[in-house]
Amino acid sequence: MELGLGLIIGLALVYAAANLLVGAHERLNRAKCAANLRAIGMACIMYANGQPGSEFPDSFQTLLKYENLTPEIFVCPSDQHTTASSGLSADSLSYVYLGNGLTETTASTKIIAYDRLGSHGKDGINVLYGDATVQWVKMADALRLIHRRWTPATKPE
């Protein structure tokens, strides 16, 4: 009886430890993802600084061509279905770009990129604004945010 109880307790502890490790790994991936988006945001600002009218790039492909970025920066570490490639096809991008047509002035409060839905499961997504800030947004709020393209004054808390 005691051996059975000890085995059950041991298995419960192993299960709990495994869940903690998985949660820590996902939090690390979220942080790496946010860093990727922040780097993309900074590259968009640098690109805009060199353009007439301070226009943001029309696509991630343009950004990759003219700024010092690698294809890996466009892949979220939590995205199991995407691998980096130099051509940046739709299959090699974890992020959705919305910066086309924006300028550095008009983009500062607008969403310019975000995680593809599902990259971090059903928890939420990272969202990049034109001033290169990144915010984690819960999925329920993310769907509304993307639909409305909220400005920081109306970002969910």
Position with higher pLDDT, 153 vs 92:
92
Range of the domain at 121: 2-154
Say yes or no to pLDDT of 135 above 70.
yes
Say yes or no to pLDDT of 48 above 50.
yes
Q: Kindly provide the b/e burial profile for residues 12-38, where b requires at least 16 CB atoms within 10 angstroms of the residue's own CB.
A: eeeeeeeeeeeeeeeeebbeebbebbe
Whole-number pLDDT of residue 152:
46
Say yes or no to pLDDT of 156 above 70.
no
Question: What percentage of the chain exceeds 90 in pLDDT?
Answer: 31
Position with higher pLDDT, 42 vs 2:
42
Strand spans (E) along 7-154 = 95-97, 111-115, 124-129, 134-138
Whole-number pLDDT of residue 128:
94
Distance CA 133, CA 122 (A): 22
Model confidence over 100-133: pLDDT tens digits? Answer: 989 888 877 888 999 888 788 888 999 999 999 9
Say yes or no to pLDDT of 1 above 70.
no
Say yes or no to pLDDT of 147 above 50.
yes
Whole-number pLDDT of residue 153:
46
Model confidence over 8-42: pLDDT tens digits? Answer: 765 655 565 555 555 677 789 889 999 999 999 99
Whole-number pLDDT of residue 5:
63
Number of domains composing the chain? 1
What is the chain's Cα-based Rg? Answer: 19
Model confidence over 54-90: pLDDT tens digits? Answer: 999 999 989 988 888 888 899 888 887 666 666 666 6
